[in-house]
Amino acid sequence: MGSFLVTKRANGEFQFVLKAGNGQVILASEGYTTKAACENGIESVKKNSQDDARFDRLESKNGKPYFNLKATNGQIIGSSEMYESVAARDNGIESVKKNAPDADVKEDL
């Protein structure tokens, strides 16, 4: 089962990552100014990850596939790593869909 990990950046901002059951990071958030905003971001991932249309399938300038998960307002709530192939990226999206809804939340602050 997956889990969200909330951490605090050196600049004082909060961020979260979603990890798959094997511990691999499959989604990382932007920085949030408050812990409450970060927790709202996690809830948004849980909800929006179940709608395939919320995933933007993209390609970086160097040709590596990745994805962003967007909220209903169009704001990016999480981004993936760069993948070696489109198939690997699509597996990453499926992993977010599978792990996010029931993932527990841990903190390392």
Report pLDDT for 109: 85
pTM to 2 decimals?
0.94
Report pLDDT for 101: 97
Distance between CA atoms of residues 92 and 67, nearest Å: 9
Report pLDDT for 59: 97
94 close to 72: Cβ distance less than 8 angstroms: no
Q: What is the mean pLDDT of each run of 10 residues along the chain (109 residues)?
A: 96 97 95 97 97 97 97 95 97 97 95
Distance between CA atoms of residues 56 and 54, nearest Å: 6
The backbone torsions φ and ψ at residue 61, rounded to the nearest 5 degrees and listed phi first, read -60, -30
Distance between CA atoms of residues 21 and 5, nearest Å: 13
